[in-house]
Chain A
Amino acid sequence: MTPIITTRFVNLFYNEFQALKNINMAIMPNTVTALIGPSGCGKSSYLRLFNRMNDLIDGVSITGDIMVDGEMIYSKGIDIVALRRKVGMVFQKPNPFPKTIFENIAYGLRVNGVTDKKRIEEKVEFSLQQAALWEEVKDKLKKSAFELSGGQQQRLCIARALAIEPSIILMDEPASALDPISTAKIEELIYELKRNYTIVIVTHNMQQAGRVSDYTAFFYLGELIEFGDTKEIFTHPKDKKTQNYITGRFG
C-alpha cells in the first residue's frame, strides 16, 4: 500500500522559532493516526501542514517535501482550494457558522459550485447521517446551529467537513472542549469513518489516542520521537521520553 501523506525532512519556523525539526513520516490510507505530545511540541503545527492552514499565520516558513495524495502540496501553482476540498478539517472548538443547521452543511457545497437544490438537500441529509446527527436534528434543520449542544455542534462540523467528500480528515483535538458522553460519540464516529477516510487526529488524551488510533506519533519539542503501531507505542515504547509521556511522568 502506498502512503496517502508523506513528509520528508520537514522543518517549520514561526519567524525565528523552529516548531518542527526534520519530520519524516508516512500516513497510510484508511487508518487513524494520532499525534500526541505535550503542549507546544509541534503536533498541531504538523497537522495544519496538510491543508496548508499554517499559511494563514504571519511569519510561517516551511522547508522539506510534503506529499498528499501524490501531489507536492507546497510546490508553486498548487490549487489550495482544491487541496482543502480533499483534506477536510475539524477544529478544537466547535465553530459552526451563525447560520441554520442546513446552511452550515450546504455552505461547503455552495462555495464549491454545487447549485442544484435537490443535490444539496440529499447531501445535507447524507452527511448528517454519516456524522450520526440526523436523528437529532432532522426536525430542526432551519434552526440556528448555535442552538445545538457543544457535542452536537462538533458533529455538525464533522458533517460539514464530510459533505464536500474529502479523502482525508484532520482533527485538531476535536473532543477537548466536550463532555465525556459527547467525547464518546465523537470517538465512535471516528471509528466508523475510518472505513472511508484517512484520519489524522491531534489529541492530549492518551486513552483517546489508545482507543481510536491505529498508529501513534509522539512529538516532543518539535521532533518526532517515535512513530508506529499504537499498541506497540503504548505497550513497548522504544524511547524513554515516549514512555515517560504516556505513563504521565511529564506533560
Chain B
Amino acid sequence: MKFSINSVKKKELKQWLAFNVFRALSVLVVCILILILSFITYHGIKVISWEFLTSMPEDGMTKGGIFPAIVGTLCLVTGSMIFAVPIGILSAIYINEYTKASFFKRFVKLMTNNLAGIPSIVFGLFGMTLFVKTLGFGDSILAGSLTLGLLTLPVVIRTTEEALKSVENSFRHGSYALGATKLQTIRKVVLPMAFPNIITGIILSIGRVSGETAPILFTVAAYFLPKLPTGISDQVMALPYHLYVISTSGTNIEESRPMAYGTALVLIGIVLIVNITANALRKYFSKKVKMN
C-alpha cells in the first residue's frame, strides 16, 4: 500500500492543531485561577493585618476586623464534620462492604447521588424548617452545623465509597483466608488502606462547607454580632455570609469594599490551607499505611 505524502502531512497538521488547542485551553484555566487569586490578593492584602484577623468589626463593618466570622466559620466546619464524618463513613462501609448488589443498594446509591445534586439553598430552607423551627433549635450553631452536615454528607459517603472500592479484593480475601471475621478485615485491613483517600474526601468537603453561604443563611448566620459564641445554641457570623453582607447590604458598601476583599482573601486562604493539608496528610498516611 502507498501512502500519499499529503495525507501524512494532513495527519501531522491535525496532531499539531489538537495538541496546541488542548495546551492553550489548559493554560487558559490556569490563567483564570491566577487572575482571580491575584485580583483578590491585590485588593485584599492591604487590609490584612493581625488586627484585622483578631478584632471585632466596627463602624458598621467598615473598620475593625473579622475575628467573629473566622471563629464562626471554624465552629460551623467543626460542627458539620462531627455530624457528617461518622455517619458518612459508616454508611459508606455499609454500602460498600456489607450490601450485595441488590435493588436496595442501587436505591441507596441513587439517593446519595441525588442528595449531592440538590442546590445548597434548598438545604438552607430544609434546615430552617426542620432544625430551626420544628425541632426548635432556633438560629444556632447546632442548626447550621446540621444543615451543612447534611449538605456534605453525600460527598463524604461517595469519597469514602471510592476509597473503599480502591482497596483490592485480594487483601480482603487474604484476611478472610486467615480466619479473620468481616469486621476484623474491615477494621484492620480495609480501613487503614482506604484511610488516606477518606481523609482527602473529608478535607475537600471541609473546603466546600467553609465556603457555603446559602445553607447558613436561615439557620445560623448573623448579620452583625461582634461577640464570640458561648455555646452551640448561639448564632455566629461566618466568613462567606459576612462577605455577602458587606458587599451587598452593609451600611456603607463603598467604604467596606476593602474589608470585603480582605474577607475573601482570608476565606480563600483557609480553603487553600485546607487543600494543601489534605495533600500532605494523604501523602503522609499512604506512606504510613505501607509501613505498618
Residues of A within 8 A of B (CB): 51, 53, 56, 58, 81-82, 84-85, 88-89, 91, 93, 95-100, 103, 107-108, 110-112, 144, 146, 157, 160-161, 164
What are 23 pairs between A and B in contact, CB < 8 Å?
A51-B177, A58-B100, A82-B179, A84-B177, A85-B178, A88-B178, A91-B170, A91-B173, A91-B177, A96-B174, A98-B171, A100-B291, A103-B292, A107-B178, A108-B179, A111-B178, A111-B180, A111-B181, A111-B188, A112-B179, A157-B174, A160-B174, A161-B178
A53 x B178 contact (CB < 8 A) = no
* Docked CA distance A59–B177 (Å): 20
* Docked CA distance A107–B175 (Å): 8
Q: Can you name the residue of chain B whose Cβ is closest to the Cβ of A51?
A: B177
The secondary-structure label for the interface of chain B is helix
B173 x A84 contact (CB < 8 A) = no
Which A residues touch B181, using CB under 8 A?
Answer: 81, 111
Which A residues touch B177, using CB under 8 A?
Answer: 51, 53, 84, 88-89, 91, 161
Is B193 located at the chain interface by the 8 A CB criterion? yes
Which A residues touch B291, using CB under 8 A?
Answer: 99-100, 144
Which B residues touch A58, using CB under 8 A?
Answer: 100-101
B100 x A95 contact (CB < 8 A) = no
The smallest C-beta distance from B166 to any residue of chain A, in angstroms, reads 12
Is B289 located at the chain interface by the 8 A CB criterion? yes
Which B residues touch A160, using CB under 8 A?
Answer: 174, 178
Which A residues touch B100, using CB under 8 A?
Answer: 58
Number of interface residues of B (CB under 8 A): 24
Is B290 located at the chain interface by the 8 A CB criterion? yes
* Docked CA distance A189–B188 (Å): 29
Residues of B within 8 A of A (CB): 100-101, 168, 170-181, 184, 188-189, 192-193, 289-292
The smallest C-beta distance from B178 to any residue of chain A, in angstroms, reads 4
B170 x A95 contact (CB < 8 A) = yes
Q: Can you name the residue of chain A whose Cβ is closest to the Cβ of B181?
A: A81
Most buried by A among B168, B171, B177, B292: B177
A164 x B173 contact (CB < 8 A) = no
- Smallest CB-CB A-B distances: 5 pairs: A108-B178, A85-B179, A89-B177, A111-B180, A95-B170
B174 x A95 contact (CB < 8 A) = yes
Which B residues touch A146, using CB under 8 A?
Answer: 290
Contact for A98 among B179, B184, B289, CB less than 8 A = B289
* Docked CA distance A99–B172 (Å): 14
In the complex, besides A85-B179, A98-B192, A107-B189, 18 extra interface pairs with C-beta distance below 8 angstroms are A53-B176, A53-B177, A84-B176, A84-B177, A91-B170, A91-B177, A93-B170, A95-B168, A96-B174, A97-B174, A98-B171, A98-B193, A107-B180, A108-B178, A110-B188, A111-B178, A111-B181, A146-B290
Q: Can you name the residue of chain B whose Cβ is closest to the Cβ of A112?
A: B179
A56 x B179 contact (CB < 8 A) = no
A95 x B171 contact (CB < 8 A) = yes
Q: Can you name the residue of chain A whose Cβ is closest to the Cβ of B174?
A: A95
